[in-house]
Amino acid sequence: MNQTFLREAIRLSLKKMEAGEGGPFGAVIVRDGQIVGRGWNKVTSTNDPTAHAEIVAIRDACRRLGTFSLAGCEIYTSCEPCPMCFAAIYWSRLERIYYAATCEDATAVGFEDAPFFHQFTLPPDRRSIQMSQDLRQEACEAFAAWQRKVDRVVY
């Protein structure tokens, strides 16, 4: 672990929080020892609940690198990623996560990470947001069309 990169994520979390841009979260994405993406929490300043530090850093790195795959990169984040960010890290193909504070630390100061983690362990019919399914066959037709598409870009 390179503590310099982790300290940069923590520095971003504090600096941008004090500037009123959002909560105390920061992240950097590194490839070959160089920062290729930076992010900090922008939820309240952009009215975007998905603008977590990790998501912002992923978007920045992908834009800078001109790719949707961050294979070969690592993420350093000031706090253990929430379920949304954790999933985005997998989707972006980041290879390693380094973090400082824990989910429990975030929960202790009022962030709701722990209950969200718990929701994923429940079957769909027991989750706090009601889920309903319909039109499965119609939706699967789009999947079949995707499989037939010769020029599809797999991700």
- Is 9 a residue whose pLDDT tops 80? yes
Q: In this structure, are residues 69 and 31 in contact, taking their beta carbons and an 8 Å threshold?
A: no
Is residue 18 part of the annotated active site? The answer reads no
The phi, psi pair for 89, rounded to 5°, reads: -65, -45
pLDDT in tens, 63-74: 999 999 999 999
Of 15-19, 33-37, 102-106, 132-136, minimum mean pLDDT range: 132-136
- Statement: residue 135 has pLDDT above 80: yes
* Catalytic entry in 18, 21, 54, 112: 54
Closest by CA position to 100, among listed 61, 54, 45: 54
* Res 81: pLDDT: 95
